Each structure stands twice: as structure tokens, then as C-alpha cells.
Amino acid sequence: MGATVSQDDNDSDCHTHQSPINIWTKMALYDPFLKPLKIQYDPTTSRKIVNLGHCFNVEFDDTSDMSVLSDGPLNSRYRLRQFHFHWGSSDKDGSEHVIDGNVYPAELHIVYWNSQKYESFEEAAKHPDGLAVIGVLLKIGEANPVLQTIIEHLDDVKTKGKEHSFTKYNLARLLPNDLDYWTYHGSLTTEPYFECVTWIVLQRAIPISSAQLTRFRGLLCTSEYEKPVPIMENHRPVQLLHDRVVRSSRL
């Protein structure tokens, strides 16, 4: 008697909570128990900007709970570690999350880890409730002065491995006023794709000018000793939803 393989066996593989996804807004479930996001941000926690080769990070001092995210869909306090962007080789694509089939030209990820339950970011990343990432879609519009302060420093971190001090950054000014969000359980969108992320995708996009976005593509994925290769794109394709439901904070 051969083993029968049913549909759910196919979903029993251990990679069914991958990110990013296409969010069908009409299928999102309004959850009245979702709280507003509570974002406490201390500008003195910003430390440096780093070129990692596939993207650049703005990194924060996460040795104590100074800049934290709580409430929203979360049951713990999460500590700010870094933020970074994903972009495409043209303004036609670049975001990781897709909304009703619409791709945006870029996406900001603000990465937090559960400092209430775990001792370190690396430890938290091994658990389903280890990380929380706020995803903010970027749309082409007027130049964004808050992004400009980051873009001015990209020349200091042009090649892979370069870093430059980056202090007193006002991350709060980067966020839209409207913090309504969609939330679902997913993964890191780069290797090792751990399924450890509570995703919180804001429903309001923020502007970036086409000229500013072009500056992202000027970053190099090569070190200063190699032949220069620009980071033209670094966004992962959308993944299957499987058994997940996306919840919305707004009816």
C-alpha cells in the first residue's frame, strides 16, 4: 500500500511562511483587536551606515531598549536594530511586498528583535516571534528631505564593507502620519530566510524622487579593490501565501 499524499502534505513542508507576498487588500481580515503601533524612537541610538554588498544598512545601538516597537500585532517589546531598503533596476519594480498586484519602486524595512524574550538578535532570529519588521512602500514623487540625509552619505559607503558614522538620524520623520498596517507571519527575505518575522506592512507609501532612487543604484556590491559592479536590484520575488491570512488594522 503506497503512502497517499494529500494537499496538506504538500503544505507540511517547512517553508510555508516565506516573504514577501502579494497582499490582496480585499482578502485582508479586519481585526478589531489589533492595536495601533507604538513606536518609541531615540535619535541618539543611530550609529552608522554600512554597505553590506547586497544592500546598505543604517544600524542602531541595540544594547538596551532605547528605540522600541510594541503593541500593534505584537505581544512583546521589540528593539530597533537596523533599517535598509530594497530597490529595482528601474522605477518599474523594486519593492518586495506587492499590493493588489501593484509593484512599487522600492521598500524600506525597519528591523526589530524581541528583546523581552531573547538575549540577542541572532538568538531571536531562530524563533517564530523573534523579529518584527515594519515594511514601508516607496512611491515616486517629490524629493524626500529625510531620505536625502541618508543619500548624502551613500558616497561614503560606495563599496562593499565600507561604513560611516551616521548619528542623530530622525527615523520618526521618515514614517507616514497614518500608521495603519497589514500584518502576517513570514520570513527574512534574504538568506537564511528564517521564518521568524512578524511583518507589519504600512498601508500608506512614502515618496522618493526618481533622482534619489537612482542614487541607490550607484552603490557598488564590489569592494574598493575589485572591478566596480553596481547593486542594480535586490528584491526577492513574492512567495506563496499557503495557509496564512493577512490581517488589517483598518476596516
Ligand X SMILES: CC[C@H](CNC(=O)c1ccc(S(N)(=O)=O)cc1)c1ccc2[nH]ccc2c1
| Catalytic residue check, 15 | no
CB of 13 to ligand X, least distance (A): 20
Residue 21 binding ligand X, by CB under 6 A: no
* Residue whose CB is less far from Zn ion, 109 or 160: 109
Binding mask 58-97 for ligand X (x = CB under 6 A): ----------------------------------------
Task: Please state, in angstroms and rounded to a whole number, the distance separating the CA atoms of residues 240 and 229.
Answer: 32
- Pick the closer one to Zn ion by CB: 82 or 228: 82
Asked whether 20 and 45 are in contact (CB, 8 A), the reply is no
- Kindly state whether residue 122 participates in binding ligand X, applying the rule CB under 6 A: yes
Binding mask 213-232 for Zn ion (x = CB under 5 A): --------------------
* Residue among 17, 54, 164, 235 flagged as catalytic: 54
Instruction: Count the residues of the shown chain that bind ligand X, applying the rule CB under 6 A.
Output: 10
| Residue 235 contacts Zn ion per CB under 5 A | no
Q: Which is nearer to ligand X, 190 or 209 (CB)?
A: 190
Looking at residues 175 to 204 of the shown chain, list those that interact with ligand X (rule: CB under 6 A).
188-190, 192, 194
- Give 81 or 109: the residue with its C-beta nearer to Zn ion: 109
239 touches ligand X (CB under 6 A): no
Alpha-carbon span 155 to 247, nearest angstrom:
40
Smallest distance, ligand X to C-beta of residue 5, A: 31
* Interacting positions 68-127 with Zn ion (CB under 5 A): 109
DSSP the chain: -PPP--HHHHHTSS--S-S--EE-GGGPEE-TTPPPEEEE--GGGEEEEEE-SSSEEEEE--SSSSSEEEETT-SS-EEEEEEEEEE-SSTT---SSEETTBPPSEEEEEEEEETTT-SSHHHHTTSTTSEEEEEEEEEE-S--HHHHHHHTTGGGG-STT-EEE--S--GGGGS-S---EEEEEE--SSTT--S-EEEEEESS-EEE-HHHHHHHTT-BSS-TTS---B-----PPP---TT---EES--
State yes or no: residue 34 binds ligand X (CB under 6 A): no
Report the catalytic residues.
54
Please report, as ranges, the residues that interact with Zn ion according to CB under 5 A. Answer: 109
Please report, as ranges, the residues that interact with ligand X according to CB under 6 A. Answer: 109, 111, 122, 125, 133, 188-190, 192, 194
